[in-house]
Structure 1
């Protein structure tokens, strides 16, 4: 509510508001109505999005967070909005740091929450990370604006809540929000330095070939393990995507396979080794059955440019499609690369496969460049 009021005061003609009802509390509908009334009073368009949270499995709070971001990103895209503001505070920063500390996190996990990140083409920004919740409550009280406290935020069933409730005791020991913020900033500085040198090494080692990544099997001269880890995380997330970076155990298995010269799959990526080079390709099974309109971005990275028409879709080329590309061998690209490449289809008829030598006036363009150290939420 504080962030909404600040945004309205700063740019009243450019604000739209969205509330996500996670379907977990009966009170949420009334809270959304209160937000809608506030927005109507200030001439701000307001939308309520719904998520069936009761059907979620596993870590409920984590599932709700990812669902919320994706719902909002899709809504923003439909509204022509490219920037979404989030109200996370210095308190959230402290709680996240402490939670990560108990998990044995390294520099990345202990560094600051991202002040900006992307989800589905929408840029999310956290402008209040230097402000405490109490300061926001004072702000709302001074402006006579009501707000709702989610009782979930006081339920000790959740680890974050337990850390929140422990903060007064930790503050008595010197672990105040300000003290933790300094440590978080120091961790962020260290992370930035590591990402900087990882990007330099990646520029030396990584080659992009038709959307695949090629990197030496044996890196010479050798580089620090953490720098190599960052490069591999960037490769796997760029090609395979997903909402989480691969676990260290998955990276260890990958390293063992590379050392032995064995093929491997991880994070939606297929790894092959030939002539001392490791090639990372999109795994066909990870995108099999997926279809989108030809005008949309394929698999977060590809844009297909050509004579778009209604009914044309992008889908993987696949084995059947490759048989309709008589010149595919002339591309000199591996078969497994081409069958996972994006192609244009009209129902079951292949219209174009730009990477497989069957362009038919279409071209495939990478629109999301490979980067090391990209921020995630």
Structure 2
């Protein structure tokens, strides 16, 4: 650790002062796996909280993937008890779908967020360190990531409406282990941390073999985070000046899109696709770039569950019918995570909501009201009673039912910035 680096206690206190510039919060959560980083986090948090009257709650997420996990959770519980902290275990079981590591990460945040809401916690603290920053940067560099991938892990993020804080990002792991040794506190070493089958283990060994400095790599990641913030702000400015929501479809002038630098076009398109598809993932870069280049030339396509078209100088981003064809929900639920349907007095009874589908391609009544394009109508919500079509509000079919987007353009703009 460089001489100018603050010690773990000072770094922790400084980070918490940034997160809570006023009074200390009433209650905080601690995500403690049993490794050295999170065990040090718990010890430092206990000292900090006792001096400020903040209530702490500790939790361990057991992913059910290693037999040692239960013993590690008991070790955490004992250490928490010695510090006077309550502790509980949240258990997750993998459904064997998708990528295991990604599924486990998302499940961990979801479980932690639900727990934080139930316990009334102001935020949940995570034990990521400067070493994690450096390893993440090098891993993403090896994958050919751009600015976003190389940007530093944020000191704060919001997931499922809950604040997650990383107050140890300026601290080296060995300094935390020194802190634990001084306290006589043991920790658990996950055997997968030495398994070269994992990318992070190979990256950690490469860092050591090449003599790369964690602090310098973390500094590079922080500079990339600044670049990302500037690019996001520019992207938001473009969207704020040109984006509209038309009967559930996002629209923007083709010229406003085409005249932007390629990086801004890619960012804007990726965000709009994610938002309209209600997806946690960003589209893959190569097909995203191809679609963006096509839109500049007046050619649309399908990507990420969306149908994108260019007509009369306007880009329109709608849901792709194939992405919602099998989707079914009751009328009082938010359909496709986007549409709210309401029944007025005297309306025909419906028991389910499905996409209108091929019915959108047939004759439609002349209602005098503008409709979205047929491709959009195919993916729009329709009310059904068994196999009988009751109403399709956007198509002007049936009466007594209305549908409105549950979100606005301002909601879309608000989620554009990652920090």
Query: TM-score range with shorter-chain normalisation?
Result: 0.7 to 0.9
Residue pair 2:394, 2:403 contacting (<8 A) in 1 also:
no
Structure 1, 119-128 or 361-370: larger mean CA deviation? 361-370
SS in 2 for 1:46: strand
SS in 2 for 1:270: strand
TM-score by length of 2: 0.72
State which of 292, 315, 319 in structure 2 corresponds to 1:278: 315
Partner in structure 2 of residue 184 of structure 1: 221
User: Which 5+ residue runs of structure 2 have no aligned equivalent?
Assistant: 1-38, 345-349
Residue pair 2:40, 2:176 contacting (<8 A) in 1 also:
yes
Rounded to whole Å, the distance in 2 between the matches of 1:293 and 1:16 is: 38
State which of 136, 139, 149 in structure 2 corresponds to 1:96: 136
Sort the Cα spacing of 1:159 and 1:40 in 2 relative to 1 into closer, same or farther, 3 A: same
Aligned counterparts, 1:58-137, within 5 A:
60-76=100-116, 83-137=123-177
Please say if 1:4 is aligned against 2:6.
no
State which of 221, 224, 230 in structure 1 corresponds to 2:261: 224
Alpha-carbon deviation of 1:231?
1.0
Structure 1, 361-370 or 189-198: larger mean CA deviation? 361-370
Rounded to whole Å, the distance in 1 between the matches of 2:315 and 2:216 is: 44
Alpha-carbon deviation of 1:57?
5.8
Please say if 1:330 is aligned against 2:369.
yes
Please say if 1:20 is aligned against 2:61.
yes
Sort the Cα spacing of 1:296 and 1:123 in 2 relative to 1 into closer, same or farther, 3 A: farther
Residue pair 1:284, 1:340 contacting (<8 A) in 2 also:
yes
After superposition, the C-alpha distances for 1:272-327 in whole angstroms (9 at most, x for unaligned) are 222121110123432444456778766555667899xxxx998555349989x979
SS in 1 for 2:406: strand
Partner in structure 1 of residue 295 of structure 2: 258
SS in 1 for 2:369: helix
Structure 1, 245-254 or 65-74: larger mean CA deviation? 65-74
The number of residue pairs the alignment matches comes to: 366
Please say if 1:48 is aligned against 2:90.
yes
After superposition, the C-alpha distances for 1:316-355 in whole angstroms (9 at most, x for unaligned) are 55349989x9797725333443554567889889999776
SS in 1 for 2:251: strand
Residue pair 2:330, 2:351 contacting (<8 A) in 1 also:
yes
Q: Which has the larger radius of gyration?
A: 2
Rounded to whole Å, the distance in 1 between the matches of 2:278 and 2:326 is: 17
Structure 1, 343-352 or 154-163: larger mean CA deviation? 343-352
Rounded to whole Å, the distance in 1 between the matches of 2:122 and 2:328 is: 24
Residue pair 1:306, 1:363 contacting (<8 A) in 2 also:
no
Structure 1, 132-141 or 184-193: larger mean CA deviation? 132-141
Aligned counterparts, 1:357-372, within 5 A:
364-366=405-407, 369-371=411-413
State which of 143, 159, 164 in structure 1 corresponds to 2:199: 159
Rounded to whole Å, the distance in 2 between the matches of 1:81 and 1:339 is: 43
Alpha-carbon deviation of 1:246?
1.3
Rounded to whole Å, the distance in 2 between the matches of 1:81 and 1:277 is: 45
SS in 1 for 2:412: coil
Residue pair 1:90, 1:128 contacting (<8 A) in 2 also:
yes
Alpha-carbon deviation of 1:121?
3.6
Sort the Cα spacing of 1:361 and 1:218 in 2 relative to 1 into closer, same or farther, 3 A: closer
Please say if 1:212 is aligned against 2:249.
yes
Sort the Cα spacing of 1:43 and 1:296 in 2 relative to 1 into closer, same or farther, 3 A: farther
Sort the Cα spacing of 1:288 and 1:329 in 2 relative to 1 into closer, same or farther, 3 A: farther
User: Which 5+ residue runs of structure 1 have no aligned equivalent?
Assistant: none
Structure 1, 10-19 or 267-276: larger mean CA deviation? 10-19
TM-score by length of 1: 0.79
Rounded to whole Å, the distance in 1 between the matches of 2:134 and 2:366 is: 58
Rounded to whole Å, the distance in 2 between the matches of 1:192 and 1:264 is: 29
Report the aligned-residue RMSD.
Answer: 3.9
Sort the Cα spacing of 1:167 and 1:12 in 2 relative to 1 into closer, same or farther, 3 A: farther
Rounded to whole Å, the distance in 1 between the matches of 2:354 and 2:181 is: 55
